[in-house]
Amino acid sequence: MARRDYYEVLGVKKNAGPDELKKAFRTLALKYHPDRNEGDTDAEARFREVAEAWDVLGDPEKRVRYDRLGPLYTDSGRPPSPDQVNDMLREAFGGLFRRRRADAPGEDLTYTLTITLEEAAKTLDRTLVVQRQVRCTRCLGTGDHAENRMPCASCGGSGKSGTRRLFRTECPVCDGKGYKPAAKCEKCNGEKRGPMEESLRVKVPAGVATGSKLRLKQKGNDAAPVVGTTAGATGDLYVLVQVQEHALFRRRGPDLLCEVPVTLAELALGADLVVPTLDGNTTIRVPPGTPSGKSFRLAGRGLPGDTGKGDLHVKLDVETPTDLGVEAKAGLLAALAAASHPRRAEYQSVMKVRR
């Protein structure tokens, strides 16, 4: 029986002439030929469909019969069997006459992967140990022993509910299986699946952030087969990334922020200051008279991002001494108090104008 509209398969109208049909067939046959699409199963199926359509429409007698019968057309010219009509109606009406349904897919699993900020700066290959529910290898997901099954007496093992009905459905006694269940499988106790511990490798991209989700297809739970259904898809495994807080750095996208404590003397006199980076320590030059809160940008010392590596911003934070002795207070702080403060002088001049 014709499963699809042959004119639609060739991409022509129903009044297309022989030359137009032949041209359409040759174009599609050349496009989907297996020699030009090695290993492409979709192209191979499409080629067979095109060849089937041409075999009917390219023959004048078959074409006349096809135009008269449409989807009820058969190569033999005989009327279709009830099973063939039933299959055609199932396809046409999306399973309206079908009791079978697809299994619910297997459950998705989640795994939280915790890494350090240093690890987030580079590509990682990690091995995860995950416990999944997989289909029983002893009974292959049936829950019983196939060798001990008995044919269903109601349908004679056919799984059908009758032999002369046009819209045949599955046997209500065996639910379309054609047999009576045997003893439960000892390995899964009839549950059809069981736990399995599996080691899985996951590649974590550089620059990953907390909340990132990595998907491992079909590494979740297998579907639990249900009587009278087709096999459901295996679930996926989602790896949720958690980047630990760092003692020195804060993150702002691909950029890193770091506050470095300095003394008044280092800011006033200038200094070569050792500061941390993700790759180790480095030294920056602090010019004399640098104000507190000044930030220095170290280009390319941040994390990988979409447009390249980010920067490291080092902010200088003055530590005010709290345990000065008497001599230090009389000498150092007195000298600082007497020193010129340009911003203070500007501030005082503005205040005089406001009086």
232-244 confidence digits (pLDDT tens): 789 999 999 999 9
Residues 31 and 111 in one domain: no
Q: Which residue has the higher pLDDT, 203 or 165?
A: 203
Range of lowest pLDDT (19-28, 59-68, 90-99) = 90-99
What pLDDT shows up at residue 88?
60
Residue 30 has pLDDT above 70, yes or no: yes
What pLDDT shows up at residue 201?
95
Backbone angles phi, psi at 314, to 5 degrees: -100, 115
Determine how β-strand 312-318 pairs with β-strand 255-262: parallel
Work out how many domains the chain is built from and give that number.
5
Share of the chain above pLDDT 70, in %: 74
Residues 69 and 10 in one domain: yes
Residue 343 has pLDDT above 70, yes or no: no
DSSP label of 72:
G
Residues 12 and 66 in one domain: yes
Residue 97 has pLDDT above 50, yes or no: no
What pLDDT shows up at residue 96?
45
Residues 207 and 228 in one domain: yes
Residues 224 and 103 in one domain: yes
Residues 127 and 178 in one domain: no
Range of lowest pLDDT (217-226, 271-280, 282-291, 324-333) = 324-333
- Structural domain including 151 reads 146-182
Asked if residue 73 belongs to a domain, the reply is yes
Residue 248 has pLDDT above 90, yes or no: yes
Residues 13 and 110 in one domain: no
Asked if residue 107 belongs to a domain, the reply is yes
Q: Which residue has the higher pLDDT, 137 or 78?
A: 137
Residues 285 and 157 in one domain: no
What pLDDT shows up at residue 335?
59
CATH number for position 104: 2.60.260.20
How far apart are the C-alpha atoms of 204 and 223, rounded to whole Å?
A: 28
Q: Where are the extended beta strands (E) located within the chain?
A: 101-102, 109-115, 124-135, 150-151, 179-180, 193-204, 213-216, 229-230, 237-243, 250-252, 255-262, 271-277, 280-286, 295-298, 304-305, 308-309, 312-318
Residue 64 has pLDDT above 60, yes or no: yes
Q: Which residue has the higher pLDDT, 64 or 221?
A: 221
Residue 92 has pLDDT above 80, yes or no: no
What pLDDT shows up at residue 304?
94
Residues 225 and 165 in one domain: no
Q: Which residue has the higher pLDDT, 170 or 310?
A: 310
Residue 18 has pLDDT above 80, yes or no: yes
Range of lowest pLDDT (1-15, 17-31, 84-98, 155-169) = 84-98
In this prediction, residues 332-349 reach a mean pLDDT of 55
Q: Please write the tens of the pLDDT for every residue from 178-206.
A: 777 777 888 888 888 899 999 999 999 99
- Using 50, 70 and 90 to split pLDDT, how confident is the model at 99? very low
Range of lowest pLDDT (75-89, 144-158, 277-291, 327-341) = 327-341
Range of lowest pLDDT (35-49, 54-68, 136-150) = 136-150
Q: Which of 28, 46, 80 is the last residue of a domain?
A: 80
Backbone angles phi, psi at 90, to 5 degrees: -60, -45
Q: Give the other-Cβ count within 10 Å of 302's Cβ.
A: 26
Residues 130 and 230 in one domain: yes
Asked if residue 94 belongs to a domain, the reply is no
